[in-house]
A and B are shown apart, each in its own frame.
Chain A
């Protein structure tokens, strides 16, 4: 009686796991072995790994994602460090979170205005005497806007790991004669590595597949793995090839997760 009651209880969740987690991933793998005429084939993979276009596209996506992650990390770490030492830090971190509650599309749209030929940035350039630049639809603007969107997601985990550090560690470090800089690099930074790693994980993986940003801000010039998947699924209707690229994305994601996870485990064992 009790057992069947329980089973009934958990059914919706397990159904969800089976239908919306396991089945879709399985279907992507399955479809990646079919061509556009729905015949079983390994051609999609052969095409992917022998074509220069797909390989450069993959390399570019990884490079873009790497740059976006790096820029947001460099900006976010000092930001998190300063905020964690402010008196009303909860309030300040709330101000970091607030922009994430605003629709992503609206933020991207704002940049279309900001970076356009007569937009605010060019107007400011004009004041300093720099001629108007074509900023929209360039690699640089794509990376800039993507980093803008990702910065709060990078700040949060770093901030959390910073606030977890007990003050006594920092006091001990100072008592033992360490300078501020030494305390930062030898004590604080190593202790916040878990936060940095989860920040990298949170930012890097979505950055691999930002297809709407590459369309809106990068024009159609920037083609990432994400745009390729979208194009194959919704425009050319070649689901097999789209799934193959999807599988590559999944593998890239798993590698990124392993790189950011295993090291943490190793540290714990040490």
Chain B
């Protein structure tokens, strides 16, 4: 590529990156403003963070959100990993394909459809709307992504590994806990993290299946944003930004760590 066009390309990505980040930076900058609108910056202050930490209702909602995210991710990771094993062990290619397409229905279907259909489902089963309906829905829409994160690792695993273990007298349970699970562990961790982010990010499904008493952060932000601007939300954005930044860093640290150890192992095998 010629020099000039690569300069043009760099200019282009700088502009797009600026556009991608301006809204986020704008939001966080105003969380430190002492004013009350997102129009004039009135000097640095932490009052909105103070308000945030004294807003007991919001803190309770924050804890609810985290609780739902963690619980649903644990359950969906377990069920999703079992599901990935099921898909992996499907004998016929056809049944594997069917399972995979059923699996991805919730991943591609629009949020409103998922929310509306879960609402019908819960009311026809007479499940009360609130914590449990939200938790069950979150588990439900996180399972397929866990399956998709675990399955590639399972497919990578050579069957001779399992044969060797069985030949050496391992029981089915031992094969699973000593051979399969350690091998697919990076996929499981990646699935768990994806599940957490799906849960934290969800608005539409929760909005449909949460009754009156229970709220998560997304739903709360929505109802507050409909009333107009309150810089307390900006402060909340600041904190959530730091939170997601930490999640991203932890996630990539685990990913890279896994990759580098794998690379080391590969090297060892080559030198042998």
A positions within 8 Å CB-CB of B: 2, 5-6, 9-10, 12-14, 16-17, 19-25, 27-28, 31, 75, 78-79, 81-83, 85, 92, 94-99, 101-114, 116, 118-120, 123, 148, 151-152, 180, 201, 205-206, 208-209, 211-212, 215-216, 225-226, 229-230, 233-234, 239, 242-243, 246, 249-250, 253, 257
Decide if A212 touches B222 in the complex (CB within 8 Å): yes
CB distance from A25 to the nearest CB of B (A): 6
Decide if A105 touches B222 in the complex (CB within 8 Å): yes
Q: Verify if B38 is at the interface (C-beta below 8 Å from A).
A: yes
A-B residue pairs in contact (CB < 8 Å), sample of 15 = A13-B79, A16-B140, A17-B103, A78-B12, A103-B200, A103-B218, A105-B222, A107-B24, A116-B39, A119-B39, A120-B38, A230-B208, A246-B117, A249-B113, A250-B109
5 extra interface residue pairs, beta carbon distance < 8 Å, beyond A107-B23, A110-B237: A28-B117, A83-B13, A114-B23, A119-B38, A151-B16
B1-45 CB mask vs A (1 if < 8 Å, else 0) is 110011001101100110111111011001000000111100000
Given contacts A102-B241, A206-B110, are A95 and B17 in contact (CB under 8 A)?
Answer: yes
Query: For the complex, what is the distance from the CA of A187 to the CA of B172, rounded to whole Å?
Result: 50
Query: For the complex, what is the distance from the CA of A85 to the CA of B10, rounded to whole Å?
Result: 10
Decide if A96 touches B24 in the complex (CB within 8 Å): no
Query: For the complex, what is the distance from the CA of A81 to the CA of B247, rounded to whole Å?
Result: 28
Chain B at the A interface: SS class: helix
Given contacts A83-B13, A113-B38, A206-B111, are A23 and B27 in contact (CB under 8 A)?
Answer: no
Query: For the complex, what is the distance from the CA of A253 to the CA of B200, rounded to whole Å?
Result: 25
Query: For the complex, what is the distance from the CA of A148 to the CA of B17, rounded to whole Å?
Result: 11
Decide if B79 touches A106 in the complex (CB within 8 Å): no
Chain A residues closer than 8 Å to B38, beta-carbon distance: 112-114, 116, 119-120
Residue among A10, A14, A108 facing the most chain B CB atoms (10 A cut-off): A10
B168-205 CB mask vs A (1 if < 8 Å, else 0) is 00001000000000000000000000000100110110
B67-92 CB mask vs A (1 if < 8 Å, else 0) is 00000000000111011011001000
CB distance from B47 to the nearest CB of A (A): 18
Chain A residues closer than 8 Å to B139, beta-carbon distance: 16
Closest A residue, CB atoms, query B225: A109
Closest B residue, CB atoms, query A202: B108
Q: How large is the interface on B (under 10, 10 to 19, 20 to 34, 35 or more residues)?
A: 35 or more
Chain B residues closer than 8 Å to A216, beta-carbon distance: 222, 225-226
Decide if A13 touches B26 in the complex (CB within 8 Å): no
CB distance from A166 to the nearest CB of B (A): 17
Given contacts A112-B225, A209-B111, A216-B225, are A106 and B237 in contact (CB under 8 A)?
Answer: yes
Decide if B24 touches A102 in the complex (CB within 8 Å): yes
CB distance from B16 to the nearest CB of A (A): 5
Query: For the complex, what is the distance from the CA of A109 to the CA of B19, rounded to whole Å?
Result: 16
Given contacts A2-B172, A246-B117, A249-B113, are A79 and B24 in contact (CB under 8 A)?
Answer: no
The segment from B50-58, B119-127, B154-162, B264-272 that touches chain A is: B119-127
Chain B residues closer than 8 Å to A112, beta-carbon distance: 38, 225, 228-229
CB distance from A160 to the nearest CB of B (A): 14
Chain A residues closer than 8 Å to B5, beta-carbon distance: 180
Decide if A250 touches B113 in the complex (CB within 8 Å): yes
Decide if A13 touches B86 in the complex (CB within 8 Å): yes
Chain B residues closer than 8 Å to A106, beta-carbon distance: 27, 221, 233, 236-237, 240
Q: Verify if B49 is at the interface (C-beta below 8 Å from A).
A: no
Decide if B79 touches A16 in the complex (CB within 8 Å): yes
CB distance from A111 to the nearest CB of B (A): 6
Closest A residue, CB atoms, query B30: A113
Query: For the complex, what is the distance from the CA of A225 to the CA of B248, rounded to whole Å?
Result: 34
CB distance from B244 to the nearest CB of A (A): 4
Decide if B12 touches A82 in the complex (CB within 8 Å): yes
Partner of B110, one of A92, A180, A249: A249
Chain A residues closer than 8 Å to B30, beta-carbon distance: 113
Partner of B116, one of A19, A28, A110: A28
Partner of B117, one of A27, A97, A225: A27
Decide if B2 touches A180 in the complex (CB within 8 Å): yes
Chain B residues closer than 8 Å to A239, beta-carbon distance: 120
Chain B residues closer than 8 Å to A99, beta-carbon distance: 20-21, 24
CB distance from B1 to the nearest CB of A (A): 6
Query: For the complex, what is the distance from the CA of A215 to the CA of B60, rounded to whole Å?
Result: 26
Q: Verify if B164 is at the interface (C-beta below 8 Å from A).
A: no
